[in-house]
Structure 1
Amino acid sequence: MLYLCSVKLLFTLFSAALLKRQAFAQFLPLYDANLTTLNSPHDPNITISYKVPEGACKTAFDTQKQYSGWVRIPVEDESTNLFFWFIEAREPTPALTIWLNGGAGGSSMSGFWQENGPCEVVEKDKDNLEVKAREWGWDRASNMLYIDLPSVGFSYTTPITNGSFDSYNATTIFPPEPIPEWSSPWAFTNGTFSIPNPSTNTFTAAHLVWNLLQAFLLTFPQYNPPLNSSTGISLFAKSTTAPYAPLFASYFHSQNLALSNSSLPSSVLPIKISAIGLINACNIDPVSQAQSYATMATNNSFNLPLLTTEQASPIMEAFKTRGGCSDLLAVCRSDNPTGLTKDDQIQVCQQAASCMDSLTFPYQKYTSRSLHDISNPSFDPLPNQTYLTYLNSLAFLSALGSPINFTDLPPAYPPLSPDPIPALTSLLSQGVRIAMISGDRDYLCNWYSTQSTALRLASSLPSYSPFLNAAGYAQIYSNTTYIGGAVRQFANLSFSRVYDAGHFPSYSQAETLFEVFARVVLGDRSLSTGEEVELGGTFATEGDPEATHTAELLATNVPNPRCYIRKAAETCDDESTRAVLRGEGVVINGVWYNSSDDWQLPGQRDGTSGQDPTTTAVMTGIFTTSISASTETANSAPVSRQGSAAYGLSVVGVLAGALLL
C-alpha cells in the first residue's frame, strides 16, 4: 500500500517540537467480553474464543448465524491471537470462502465493510452511523470466513499495550505520546494496540491460519464442506496479499499429505482448497508488473495517455538496471525460498519492495490521479472509509469483545512472499480452480499484469496450452442488461477483466464481481454465463484472442474529495491537511469539513453514495444465462453501462434463455 501523504509539508509548516497536549483518550476500558472459550480438539494448547456479535452487522436475513472471535496460538514465549468473523450464507450451501485482504497485510475488515461483506456502514445523520445489509454481499452465495493475518486489524500478539495512532503517517507509537505541535487531536489519537511482530513470515502465517481453520471447523463442523463437494473451500485474496493464497493452499496440501501418512494426529482435519481467487493481484509476477506500469500509463484501454514515453521510460530502467528491482527480487526470492525472516533476508526483501513501489513514482509525479482508480483524484475518497470510525466505537468493540482498537494497516509486515508461481502451477495441476480477476481502472495492480501472469501460468503446464491458443475472451453477463467484463477461461484457469472497476472492484462493480465470484465457488461453471460446464474436460470460452474493449472515462463521474481523519494519509489533500492541523473546521462521522453546513446525506453527494440496497432489492439469487450462442464478442459494446453506483438493479426480468437460480 502506498501513501500519498504530505509529511514533508507538515514538517515545513510546523515545528517538530512537542506540545504538552494529550491526545484524545481512547484507551479501551475493562469490560466483560462475554466470549465462549474452548480448547481446540486438534491441539489442547490452542484455544478458540468466540461470541455472536449482537448488533454489529445487519445481514440480509435475521436467520443468518454470525460468530466472531479469536484463535489463540502459542508461538515461542508469546501468543498470537488471530481474529475471524464468520457469516452464514443467506441460503443453505456447503460452500465456504476464506477472505484475506491486501495492502501488504491489510485487515480483512476492509473487504468486509467496503466491498463484499454482508453489511456496510452508511451515514444516517450528522454523527449518526447506521449498518445496513449489502445487496451483493458474497454471503449471497457462500458461507464467509474473514480472517485478519497476524498483527493485522483485530489480530494481536500479547502483550497488548496503550499507544498513540498517527493517521497522517499511518503508524502506531509506543508508549503514548503528547500530540506533536504539527498535528491535531483529530489526527493523533490514543488507543490500545498490539505491538507488531516483525518475525512473522509467509510460512508462519500459513501455519497460524491452518491452526485457526482447524479450531474453527472442529468447533463448527456443520460449516466444513464435504471433501467430495464440488464447491468445497475457496480461498480469495487481494492485492499484495494475493501471493499468499497459493502459498497457504500449498501448505494446507502438505499438511493433508502428512495427515494421510499418519504424521499428524487423527484429530486433525484435512483442509482441501477447491478454488483460489486472486483479486487485483500484485507481486505475483514482478516482471509483468513492471512492464504493465508503462503499458497502463501510455497505451491503456481508455485511450488516455497518462504519461509520455519519455516520462514512463524510468520505470523499466529502474527495474532492469544493475542492483535494481529485478536483481533485488532475485536475491530476495532465491535466498528466501521458504519465507524465513532472517535479518539480512528481510532487509533485501524490504529493498525489493521499496524498489517495486518506486516504479509508480512517475505516475504519481506527472498525474493527479489515484493509484487505485485512474478516473479518481490522487487523494481518493472511494471507497467509503466511514467504517473506520464505526469499528473504533466502544459499542462496536464491546460487541466483538475486542481488547484492542482497530487499525487498517500494520506498521510492519513482510513486504514480499516467496515466488508463488510454482505453487500456482502445482495447484492447477492438482485440479484446483485458479481465478484471476482485475478491475481495468486500477493502476497499482493493473489488469495487464494479471493477464500476463495468467498467460505465464498456462505456459508452464503443457495441458493448459489451449488457454494460450484456443480460449478466447467471452463477455461476462452480469444480468439481463449489462455486460460486466470479459473472461478468458480454459478448464480450471481463468482471467477476468472487469470493466469500469478500480482496485476495489467489488465496490465499483458489485454485481459483476459477485456473479464472477459465485461462478468460481460453485465449480463447473462458465464464468461468462454461469452455465454448468465440465471444467475437468476441454471447456474453453470462445471469442477474440485479446481483450481490446475500450471505453471513455467520464469527467462527470469524478468523485468529490473527502478527508477521512482515520485515513488522512490517503484522502486528505494539502489544503485540508493545513486546516486539520490548525484545528479548523469540524469532523462529522469521521470526515473533516470546513463547516458543519458542508455535510450532506450520502445520497446528495456525487460519486460517494455507496451501494445502499433499496427496499425493493432481491437479496438472493445467482444470474445464469444460456446466451453463450450469441454472436456478440467480448470486445463489442456492452448491452448497457452499469454506473459505479448502479447497484439497485435486481434481476427480476428474464431474457429468452436466461434463468435465475
Structure 2
Amino acid sequence: LFSLFLTLPFLGSRAHYAPDEVTYLPGMTFKPNYRQWSGYLQARPGKFFHYWFVTSQRDPVKDPLVLWLNGGPGCSSLDGFLSENGPFHVNDDGATLYENPFSWNKIANVLYVESPAGVGYSYSDDKNYATDDDQVAEDNYRALQSFFAKFPKFAQNDFFIFGESYGGIYAPTLSLRVATGAATINFKGFAVGNGITSFALNKQSLIYFGYYHGLFGEDLWRDLNINCCDKGSCNFYNSSSVGVAFGIVYESGLNEYALYLNCEGVRGSHKGYERTMTHLFKNYMKQWLTHKVSVAHVPPCINSTAQMNWLNRGDVRKALHIPDTLPPWDLCSDEVGEQYTTLYPTMKDVYLKLLSLGLRGLVYNGDTDMACNFLGDQWFVEDLGLKETTKYQLWISDDQIAGFYQQFGNLTFLTVKGAGHMVPQWAPGPAFDMFQSFLTNGSY
C-alpha cells in the first residue's frame, strides 16, 4: 500500500526510521502521498509521550514543521488529528478512514503529541500523573528534543507551535522554553486557537457574550448590572451573582463549544469535558459548589465515539506500535485532569517575552465558542499594550467573508465566522487558509 514511499529519498534510509513507521492502517482505502510514524518520545526517565508524525504532501524537506497540542488539561491531541486538521478522519462507522481535503499536512510536516503523560496512549512507568503548567512545558520540551534525535533532518525546518483550548497555556509556555533553551531549533512562532489566555478575562467576557447573543433576558441582565456593576464598571469575575447566567450557558443543554450547533451525545457522559470546564472556570465552579448547585451535568456535546472505537481496535493499536499493556484510549483523562495544577492566571508576561524576541504570534477564535470565547481573547490581546499596525478588518476565504482580524506588529488576533471551539473541524477551509497565511507570513 505504501510502496510509493520507496521512491521518496528525502528522509534517508527507511531502516533508520523503521521502528516507528506506520506502513499500514486498518480502514484506509486510499494511498497516501506522505509518510507517517507513531511511537514514543521520552519526556524524562520513565515518562513517555505518544506521538504521531505525518510529513508534508508537498515538500517535506523545505516545508515547515508544526507541533499540534490539544488541551484539557488532560485531552488528547489525536482528537485534533482525527477530527480537525489531520490527513484523514474516521467515518461514523468507526471502521473506515476518509481523506481530509483541508489537511494541514498538505503544506507542512505536522507532529501530534499526546501530552502530558496519562493522556491518550502516553504513560509513565510509575503511574504518577500529577503535574502542572511548568512541568508540562519542560516535559514537552524534552519530548521535542527526543523527536529531533529521531528525526534530525527536520531540525532546520521552520518550526511552529500550535495549541488549542488549554493549549493556550501549553503553547506559549513551551514556546518560551524553546526560545530560551539550548536546543538548536529554527523556531519561528506560535499560535493559539480558542485558547485560554486569561482566566479573568475569559470569565468576565462570557457574560457580555451571553447577553449579546440573546441567552439572557432583560430581567437577568438588569440584576447582573445591579449586583456586579458600580459607576459603569462591572466585575463578573468574582461575583456570586453570576451563577444563573453561567447555568444558562453550561447547564441548560446548549453546546458550549459551538453555540449554534446541537449538543451531541448524552449530557454528562464524558467527565473529561466536565474537568475541562472546572479548569477554565475554577472560581465560578467554587461559587456554584458553595450554593450546592451540581456541576456533574456539564453537557459534553462532542461525539468522539467513532475515533474511540477505531483507536481501540487491536489491529489499529498494533499498527501504531502501542504496547499491549496500556489501557484503552480515551479522549480525555480524568486522572490527569483531577491532579493538574494551574500556575498561570494569565499568559500576558509570557506573550510579551515571546513577542520581544521577534517571534510571530497568532490568536484565533471561532466566534461561536463559549468555553474560550473570542471577546476574552480579543481583550487579552488589546491588554498587551502593543501598537496596532492594521485596523480591525475582514478577511476572505473562498470568496466569502471568513471573519475579522487585526495586527499588532508580530501578533495577529483573528476570528473565524460561525466556527466554534474546534475551528479546523467546523470551518476547515477558512482554517486552512488562515494556517497557510500564518506560516508564510502572508496577508489574510
What interval of TM-score do these two structures reach, taking the shorter chain for normalisation? Answer: 0.7 to 0.9
Of residues 109, 129, 141 in structure 2, which corresponds to 1:197? Answer: 129
Question: What is the TM-score of this pair, normalised by structure 1?
Answer: 0.53
Check whether the contact 2:392–2:405 (CA below 8 A) recurs between aligned residues: yes
Task: Return closer, same or farther for 1:73/1:443 CA change in 2, 3 Å cut-off.
Answer: closer
Q: Aligned runs of 1:402-441 on 2, under 5 Å?
A: 402-403=322-323, 404=326, 405-411=328-334, 412-413=336-337, 414-418=340-344, 419-441=346-368
Aligned to 2:48: 81
For the residue of structure 2 that corresponds to 1:249, the secondary structure is helix
Q: Does residue 276 of the first structure (1) align with residue 190 of the second (2)?
A: yes
Structure 1 residue 58: Cα displacement: 5.1
Q: CA deviation at 1:415?
A: 4.9
Question: How many residue pairs end up in the alignment?
Answer: 375
Could you tell me whether the CA contact under 8 Å between 2:29 and 2:96 is conserved in 1? Answer: no
Is the 2:71–2:170 Cα contact (8 Å) retained in structure 1?
no
Matching of residue 252 in structure 1 with residue 178 in structure 2: yes
Letter in 2 for 1:236: F
- The residue aligned with 1:156 is 123
* Alpha-carbon distance in 1 for matches of 2:400, 2:155: 35
Write out aligned runs for 1:176-255 (5 A): 195=127, 197-198=129-130, 200-226=131-157, 232-255=158-181
Go from structure 1 to structure 2 and tell me whether the alpha carbon gap of 1:417 and 1:137 turns closer, same or farther (over 3 Å shift): farther
Alpha-carbon separation, structure 2, partners of 1:308 and 1:292? 17
Aligned equivalent of 1:368, options 253, 262, 277:
253
SS in 1 for 2:349: helix
Q: CA RMSD in A?
A: 3.0
Spell out, residue by residue over 1:286-340, the C-alpha distance to the aligned partner (whole angstroms, 9 max, x if none). Answer: 222122111111113xxxx1112553656997999xxx9659xxxxxxxxxxxxx
Alignment partner of 1:466: what SS? coil
Question: What residue is the counterpart of 1:181 in the other structure?
Answer: none
TM-score for both structures, normalised by structure 2 = 0.77
Aligned CA distance change for structure 1 residues 315 and 400 (closer, same or farther; 3 Å):
farther
Query: In structure 2, do the counterparts of structure 1 residues 107 and 219 end up closer, same or farther at CA, with 3 Å as the change threshold?
Result: same
In terms of Rg, which structure is larger? 1
Q: Counterpart in 2 of 1:308? A: 217
Distance change (3 Å), C-alpha of 1:290 and 1:136: same
Q: Which runs of 5+ in 2 are unaligned?
A: 1-17, 231-235, 266-300
Q: Shift in Å at residue 62 of structure 1?
A: 2.8
Q: Does the 8 Å CA contact 1:311/1:362 hold for their aligned counterparts?
A: no
- Report the counterpart of residue 54 of structure 1 in structure 2: 24
C-alpha distance in 2 between matches for 1:294 and 1:451: 15
| 1:392 pairs with one of 309, 312, 331 | 312
- Superposed CA offset, 1:175-221 (max 9, x none): xxxxxxxxxxxxxxxxxxxx4511x2222222221222112112212
Give, in whole Å, the separation in 1 of the partners of 2:156 and 2:227. Answer: 49
> Kindly tell me: are residues 444 and 115 of structure 1, through their superposed partners in 2, closer, same or farther at Cα, counting changes over 3 Å?
same
Q: 1:95 touches 1:225 (CA, 8 Å); kept in 2?
A: no
How is 1:486-525 mapped onto 2 (pairs within 5 angstroms)? 486-523=404-441, 525=442
- Structure 1 residues 73 and 503: CA distance shift in structure 2, 3 A: closer
One-letter amino acid of the counterpart of residue 67, structure 1: W
Deviation at residue 401 of structure 1 after TM alignment: 1.9
Find the counterpart in structure 2 of residue 116 from structure 1.
85
CA contact (8 A) 1:122 1:132 kept: yes
Aligned-partner Cα distance in 2 for 1:429–1:393: 47
Structure ranking higher in helix proportion: 2
Work out whether 1:473 is the aligned partner of 2:392. yes
Residue 60 of structure 1, CA deviation: 7.7
Q: Is 1:275–1:520's contact at 8 Å kept on the other side of the alignment? A: no
The one-letter amino acid paired with 2:364 is I
Question: 1:245·1:276 contact (CA, 8 Å) conserved in 2?
Answer: yes
CA contact (8 A) 2:87 2:99 kept: yes
Give the aligned residue type for 2:313.
S
Distance 1:201 1:108 in 2: 18
Conservation of the 8 A alpha-carbon contact between 2:165 and 2:195:
yes
AA matched with 2:206: Y
The answer (yes or no) to whether the contact 2:392–2:404 under 8 Å persists in 1 is yes
Paired residues for 1:65-104 under 5 Å: 65-75=35-45, 79-92=46-59, 93-104=62-73
Structure 1, unaligned stretches of length 5 or more? 1-47, 160-194, 227-231, 257-268, 328-354, 529-661
- 1:158 is displaced (CA, Å) by 1.3
Percent identity between the two aligned chains: 22
State how 1:291-306 maps to structure 2 within 5 Å.
291-300=204-213, 305-306=214-215
Match of 2:34 among 55, 64, 68: 64
Give how far 1:408 is off. 1.2
Deviation at 1:384, TM superposition (A): 5.6
CA contact (8 A) 2:194 2:364 kept: yes
Q: Note the C-alpha offset of 1:225.
A: 2.8
Equivalent-residue separation in structure 2 for 1:316 and 1:121 (angstroms): 50
